[in-house]
Amino acid sequence: MPLSTETTAPPLLARYQAVRQATEHLCRPLTPEDMMVQSSSEASPVKWHLAHTSWFFETFVLSEFLAGYQPFHPDFRWLFNSYYNTLGEMPEKKLRASFSRPPLESILSYRKHVDSGMSRFLQKTIENDAVQRIILGLEHEQQHQELIATDIKHALFTNPLHPAYLSSARAPQQQTLIAPPVEWITFAPGLTEIGLTPDPSAITAFAFDNETPRHQVYLAPFQLANRPITCAEYLAFIDQNGYNRPELWLSEGWTTMRAEGWQAPLYWQRDNDTKSGWSIYTLHGFQPLEDLSETPVCHLSLFEADAYAHWSGQRLPTEFEWEHAAQSQPIQRIQGNFVESGNLHPIPATSEPGLQQLFGDVWEWTASGYTGYPGYKPLPGALGEYNGKFMSSQVVLRGGSCVTPATHIRPTYRNFFTPGTRWQFSGLRLAQDVSR
C-alpha cells in the first residue's frame, strides 16, 4: 500500500457513520437479555458483535494512527479479540455468552468512545494505509451486521417460546407471487478471467484479499438454472425420502445428517395445523410453509444442497462458473433482496427473463473448496489472519443473502463455511454440463 498517498476524509466519515448506525438499527428490537444469548458454537452474542466491531477500529486504526488516543479499557484489547493470534491471547469463542460483565451500557459507551475517536481522526487528511484499514473495518462491520441477524435468529428459535425478532407480518404480495419455472441459461466461456486486482490509483477501491489476484481459468460449456431452488421443490425431495437415501449423499454428509438427526432444513418444523404439514421459523416468527413455498429454500448445509442436486440429476456450480455467469450479466448496480428491504427472508423470483436472484435472498453453495487463487498473498501482519488462515475444510458460497447489506456484495465476493453449516441463509442453484 503506498503510504505517501493522502486523501481528505469527510465522505469516508459519512460512510463510517452510516455503517455504524446500521449496526445499532439492527439491535433496536432486542432487549439486553437477547443480546447475551449464544445459542451455538458458530454464533456469538449480539453484545459481543457490538464490542468486537469497535475493537477492530480501536486496534487497527485509532491505536496506530491517532496521536494521543487513549483506549477505552486496557482489558478490551484481548477480551474482544476474535481470532487474531498475532495480537495475543483471547477468550474461547464458546465462552462469549458468559460476558455478563462488562454490561451492555459499557459496550455502548465503548462504541461512542471509538466513534468519537474516529470522528476526530476523519476530520483531517489521512494516509492511504489508514484509509484502507478503515474501509476494511467497515466491510468487517457489515459482515457482523449479517451475523447479528443470523445469530439472533438462531438464539430466538432455540427459546421454547420462539419469539419473533420483528412481530410485523411480511408483505402479502410476497406471499402470493409464484416463482417462474426453472429454465437453463447456457454459457460457453472457454478461457475466462476470475477474481479482481484492485486499482491502486483508486484510494477507496476495496476487495478482500481472497478475491485476488485476477487470473485465468478454463471453463467447459455449462448451464445454470435461472433461479434458486424453492421451498416447494425442496419439500418434494423430503417427500421422496431424500433424507433416507444414502446413494444421494456425500459420505461425510450422510454421517453428519444421521448424527444430527436432520430431516429437513434448519427452522422447518412439523405442523399438523398447516396444509403442507410444515411451518418455517423466520425472523418474523413461524409461518406456514405454504406461505413461503415459492421462496428460495434456505438454511441448508452443503451436504443437503449437494444431495438435492444429486436427487434432481444435476449438480452444484463451481464458484468460477457462478462468477462467470454473474460477470456476464449487464449489471449497472447490484440489486436484490438485501437487509435494507426489511423482508429479512427470501422472496420469490420474478418472471423476468435471464438469471434471477444472483444477489441477495440466499447465499448459494458451490462445489468449490475454499483455497487461495494462484499468486494469492494475504495482507501483512495481523490483518493477514482475516481470510487466509481459514483456507482449509471450507466451501465457497456466492451472492449474498436477505440479511446482507446491499453495499457489501459484488460478483467476486467469496463467502466460506464448513460444509455442515446451516445457520446462515444458505441455499442452492443447480448447474449442469452441456453435451458436446
Cell of 384: 493477514
User: Are 258 and 210 within 8 A, CB to CB?
Assistant: no
Query: How distant, in Å, are the alpha carbons of 139, 237, 282, 299, 307 from that of 170?
Result: 28, 26, 10, 19, 30
Q: Kindly calculate the radius of gyration of the chain based on its CA atoms and give it in whole angstroms.
A: 22
What pLDDT is recorded for position 436?
A: 63
Task: Report how far residue 184's alpha carbon sits from residue 374's, in angstroms, rounded to the nearest whole number.
Answer: 31
Cell of 207: 476487495
DSSP 3-state of 288: strand
* Run of H or E residues at 323: helix 319-327
> Helical H runs in 28-127?
46-57, 63-65, 76-79, 104-121
Cell of 125: 487528511
Per residue in 69-95, pLDDT tens? Answer: 999 999 999 999 998 888 888 999 999
Give the rounded distance of the alpha carbon of 377 from its chain centre: 23
Task: Report how far residue 351's alpha carbon sits from residue 294's, in angstroms, rounded to the nearest whole number.
Answer: 12
Cell of 140: 468487517
DSSP 3-state of 2: coil
Cell of 165: 425478532
Task: Report how far residue 280's alpha carbon sits from residue 290's, in angstroms, rounded to the nearest whole number.
Answer: 10
- Which pairs from 201-205 meet CB under 8 Å and 24+ separation? 203/5, 203/7, 203/128, 203/131, 204/7, 204/12, 204/131, 204/135
DSSP 3-state of 185: strand
pLDDT tens by residue, the chain, 436 residues: 223 334 446 799 999 999 999 999 999 999 999 999 999 989 999 999 999 999 999 999 999 999 999 999 999 999 999 988 888 889 999 999 999 999 999 999 999 999 999 999 999 889 989 999 999 999 999 999 999 999 999 999 999 999 999 987 554 444 567 899 999 999 999 999 999 876 655 544 688 999 999 999 999 999 999 999 999 999 999 999 999 999 999 999 999 999 999 999 999 999 999 999 999 999 999 999 999 999 999 999 999 999 999 999 999 999 999 999 999 987 767 899 999 999 999 999 998 999 999 999 999 999 999 999 999 988 887 777 678 888 999 999 999 999 999 999 999 999 999 999 999 999 999 999 998 6
User: CA torsion 160→164→170→175, rounded to 10°?
Assistant: -10
Alpha-carbon dihedral sign for residues 51, 53, 59, 64: negative
